[in-house]
Structure 1
Amino acid sequence: MRGLRFAFGPFVLDPGAGTLLRNGDTVAVSHRGLQLLAALVERPGEILGKAELMDAAWPGMAVEEGNLTVQISQLRKLLGITADGDDWIVTVPRVGYRFIGVIEQLSGAMPKSLPLPDKPSIAVLPFVNIGDDPAQESFADGLTEDLITDLSRTRGLFVIARNSAFAYKGKAMNARAIAEELGVRYLLEGSARRIAGRVRINAQLVDAVNGDHLWAERFDRSLDDIFAVQDEVTGKIVEALLGRLRAPPPRNRPKSLEAYDLCVRARKLMDDSPQTAQEAHLMLTRAIALDPDYAEAYRWLAMNHWMGWVHSGGPTEPARGIALDLARRAVALDPNDAGCRWILAYLLSYERSFAEADAEFAKAIELDPNEADTFAALSDIAVLAGRVGEGLEHIAKAFRLNPFPPGWYYLVRGQAQYAAGEYAAAVETLRRDETYRTSSRRFLAASLAQLGRLDEARVEAELFLVGNPRFTIGHWAMTEPFRDAAMLEHFIDGYRKAGFPE
């Protein structure tokens, strides 16, 4: 989080800026690696359990323990050994890990808080599951996500995206500090308990600037009324912040709570590994079988196919066709869902149905001006169309709405910076992403090559090809949705200099 820097040995860690320096030079470390290191150095000498660390690096997601082991191993390689010849991070068998270095908290100017928008701004913090059953955690998470979506669709509000809100899950921080980090004035906090066919929800709206509680209420209802409760909470918050109700178009709600739970759980699994994404695929398929009219399940299943996890080797032609059909089905079931719209728009761009794609992107923004993923996806497509300035503006807006975003935002920003000729900035951005697992390495290699750092570029190209052995410049050029010949040639030039196969 913002506002703290930690020095140990030759290193300075700035979690807020997302940087690790060794003797003043930037160390390339993954986003999740930074989150793990921050969790450890904030409590030097303490044993942090594996579950706690996984929640720090993968908030709100169910991941395999092996992912933690891999990230810790990579951190150890990056940090080397202490002056005493020991590892900075020590394994406590069957329990977790401990950071053994001496930490100095640095004084001096702290990063500036994000400026408040010119409209009422709010973040919905993850609702706390106060029931005895840990399995109900997904219910509390789903409630949080739905409230974010509902508020996000209200014009006149500025709403922080889910990914950034869930960065605070399980963390004890005061309201003012959170609001300053996110650049918002208001926070919605709450808890949920689901038991024996009933649900109890406590919610309160806080003005983080002066500490006032603007609204608070407890709901004790039948579980069948859960979506009505969500609508009621949303309406009361909008009324409190805007002074009057401004109801957006109605959403498609699931008819099966089991399908709803499956969809919430699947969303946490999709982008972590091929194994967990396969599990997500099964959950989403089951959700659709339980509720064939549940638009959101089709939306996420479309994205899961597109990501190439279910069909190994990347987004093959069959996977693309299946994904597009699912996305069209999602929009048909819920034409008022901006998430369904932007996913369809993105897939249509890859089919080169550009006019239809542009219309879907515009409709998505009209329906939800706070949907950060829409702007991130639109940035990608705008850059490939040669509209680089527009692409940079879109990804900047996405980051403002989602200050702690998923890794693919860094890929999109780095691509836009490369397209603008800002190669050094692109290198810095792309090294923030988890390049070991994503497509970022090809843009990183091209950026390094354009800077004349050919040895580094070729190393990155070789590492990319290890995970993508069938990659060629020609095939890539045919499959990407370029609309601008000069922009295509600009990327090809960087790839050639980096040594990618033709």
Structure 2
Amino acid sequence: MLRFSGFELDSERAELRAPDGATIRLRPKTLEILRLLAGNAGRVLSKQQLMEAAWPNVHVGEDSLFQCIREIRTALGDDKRQVVRVISGRGYLFQAEVTGAQVTEAGVTEVAAPAAPEIAPLSQPEPAAPDTAVAVATNSEPAKRFFDFSRRRIAFASVAGLAILCTAVAAWMLRPGLIFARGPTSIAMMPIADASNDPLVAQMAAEVSGRLTDGLAKIENIRVLAPETGAAKADFVVKGELQKSEQAWTIRTRMTEAATGEVKWTASYSVALTDTDLPMQQSRLAAGVGHALAVRVNELLNADASSAAKSKVVIEQATAHIKQTSPERFQAAQAMLEKALAEDPDNVELQVALAALLMRGVQMAWLSGPEREAAEIKAEAMLQQTLRARPNYIPAHEAYCRFLNATNQFRASLVACAKALSFDPWNGIALYHVGLAQIQTGRFEDALATFMQADRFDTPQVSRWTWKIGAGWANMLMGRAEDAVPWLLKSIAITSASGRTHMLLAAAYQQMGRIEEARAAMDKGMELRPGSTYHNVPTPRKNSSPIYIEATERIMQLMVAAGLPAS
């Protein structure tokens, strides 16, 4: 047990408990990283040490470690990064007084002094205490206590052994699965094939295979099996081929049900050779098919054929209405979904679609004060109902993550978005909302890293303009106008109808002294968002960090200088 700042890290139960006794859920790898840091409090651990200890014999990118660090800081409320500190050029330092035990090469020992203990992988089992340790009790009647206790142990062991034997026999007679719960769905990820005999393509296929396998291994409710032995035991088998043309890499993948050979999913994804460097191409190839695969697996594990059939047409019609953005079409889409939900009140797809639509109305300011409040209450109730019914359902977690961000519940949003990522680690929308919450809590560097991670994955592509504007915004909040401009221009090139992007670009140009360009950008922003002023352009400041509010004020002054009306 490690204790620090009121928290308890219980290694035996694999859980973190808050000062009020509540259990804080963390992913296994995040818990391992926290145990390593807390177990080596006062000592700087390099990123390489942490990755080798938490992912022994597995190649992972630094983004996996960064995600764990972000989750730890969120769990500890370490917004100012005073507990888990970054030591520039060296690694991470856990700066809190820790009592209980520390990690060493031999396992876990009692804390004595803050001498530098050696870091060791957490997967290494702790040595069991020898039986003779039982004899060290008190000085009175040690022999009697020892033999009395031994007799009780023998009797207990006999009863336990008999119980285990009976259970095993019953399980064999009644077939496995009736007594023992079935394990998580298993997937065998076969190496990506290359039919070209080109060493470069073969190397690329191996890299993409590794990234895809690493990503699948992060998904909470599936188990990834080794290709050598897993194909015969897995529920599903994933295979793929990689090809290279003069213009692009193309990966084609399919998933079959192992028992029947039935194809359950196929996908192809292409990445242009000229757009990015080789590591980015590898990341996007893996993410392009990995995101689609994660969504498909989640659909299969949460399948409700009758519910999906009823809701699909209605949701498509409502979505078609809302694509033409206007209050009237919003109301028409809302009426469609509410009518369908009244006829099928337990339909989770309809609940998620209506909740997302209501929040769209809130964010577009199409609802009055009382209507807005009622819409928020209704959306939250529906999403919570959906999550109770389907706790592993990606669309529900993603919608709840967005809802919490839209209602300025930033800490809760970080948790909800992390949950969505635990079922789809390539989910760019969830990453974007993580970045937004980090911005509002004043963690601009973390936000920039998150937006750049979303850009490395680039899934789904329809949302790529959002994390590009996010990266530009984060840079502007840190006063880096020159770094912000390329991101904002890329966002505008994808989606030119966002007035906010043009206004941020105007602020960046103004800071750089490019006054005419700043004026032109602001004029375009005002054209797209008529009626905008200094007072209604900033996002609501409820629950926002003072650091964020101060940085936003600097940007707003630049916008006013570029032509944004003061009132």
- Given the two structures, how large is their TM-score scaled by the length of structure 2? 0.45
Q: Which protein, 1 or 2, shows the higher relative CO under an 8 Å CA cutoff with sep ≥ 6?
A: 1
Larger Cα-atom Rg: 2
